[in-house]
Amino acid sequence: MATNERIFVQAIRSYGARHGIDVDVRADGWLIAMRRGDMRRFAFGYDIGLNSAIAHRLANDKSATSEALSLQGLPYIPHHLFLNPKLGRNVVGPDWREAMLALLHDHPQGVVVKPNEGTSGRSVFKVTTPTQLDRAASEVFSMSTGLVISPYIAIEDEVRVVLLDDAPLVVYSKQRGSDWRHNLDAGAKPVLLEDGATRSACVTLAADAARAIGIIFASIDVVRVDGAWRVLEINSGVMMEALGKLHPELVQATYDAALDRVFRNEG
């Protein structure tokens, strides 16, 4: 096994070796073909292939997730969509910049600008001035067909819940470092949550969010703002690289459970 492989890839290799599944890793680990007899399944990125196409697309679209949660009356952090002006005036409309500035005006504490799709906190900007807003929008539009703007809020705690069929397999908080973000790639540390009121509240909200878009296997980020929990985002690809370095057995068991579901393996 290559030592530089992602933990996700290593976990699938391990599962395959223990269950008689041929594992063929392609594209530097981003495409994985799994075969047992006549059954073939694929993993792509961090998506293990359990979710429907529409659930996957909703989860990967921050604006769509926000709208779906709103329809269910769940507490969430709003994400306002703006399409790349390169798509054309007929698609984007003439007043997109004015609408961005209006959001900034309505939130003098600042707003957060980030790609509508994507993970790991890349190209995420906190802005408080029109100049910063233009710079952030230009950066995001240079690599994305759309961006979202959400109000900057003081997040007291952030918790990630990994669910499989509504069952919480992993629940941990993200302990922020010196950065204002709680992203693990930005230096936050994962800390497993013990049973208690906080864990119970986060699991309940995460399960409600998963049902709102019909997703089976996902990691759901919830945040506490002014003492109340809200959904931040839903991730169809379940990435546990940072957690896997601290709790490899737990991460392997989580992927094992998901792969059991993929292959309908009861033993």
What pLDDT is stored for residue 200 in this prediction?
97
User: Which residues lie across from 21 on neighbouring strands?
Assistant: none
What's the mean per-residue pLDDT of the chain?
92
Residues 233-247: pLDDT tens digits? 999 999 999 999 999
Residues 170 and 240 in one domain: yes
Higher local confidence (pLDDT), 57 or 121: 57
Whether residue 217 contacts residue 211, with contact meaning beta carbons closer than 8 Å, is answered with: no
- Share of residues in the chain with pLDDT > 90 (%): 84
Q: Residue 8: how many CB atoms within 10 A of its CB?
A: 24
Per-residue pLDDT tens digits for 171-217: 999 987 667 555 665 568 999 999 999 999 999 999 999 999 999 99
pLDDT at residue 266 in the model:
43
Q: Tell me: pLDDT of 106 over 50.
A: yes
Residues 241 and 185 in one domain: yes
Q: Please name which of 180, 176, 204 lies closest in space to residue 190, comparing C-alpha atoms.
A: 176
* Cα–Cα distance, 204 to 166 (Å, whole number): 9
CA neighbours closer than 13 Å in the CB half-sphere of residue 195:
0
pLDDT of residue 1: 47
Same domain, 159 and 73: yes
| pLDDT over 80 (residue 62) | yes
Establish if 259 belongs to a structural domain: no
The DSSP element (H or E) to which 223 belongs, if any, is strand 217-225
pLDDT of 44: 95
Q: Taking a C-beta distance cutoff of 8 angstroms, is the pair 231, 163 a contact?
A: no
* Domain of 110, in residue numbers: 80-151
Per-residue CA distances from 217 to 27, 53, 253 (Å) = 23, 13, 14
- E runs forming strands in 51-198: 80-83, 111-115, 125-127, 146-151, 157-164, 167-175, 189-192
- State mean pLDDT over 100-109: 96
12 has pLDDT over 60: yes
The verdict on 221 and 180 lying in the same domain is yes
CA pair distance 52, 101, nearest whole angstrom: 36
Domain-terminating residue out of 135, 151, 167: 151
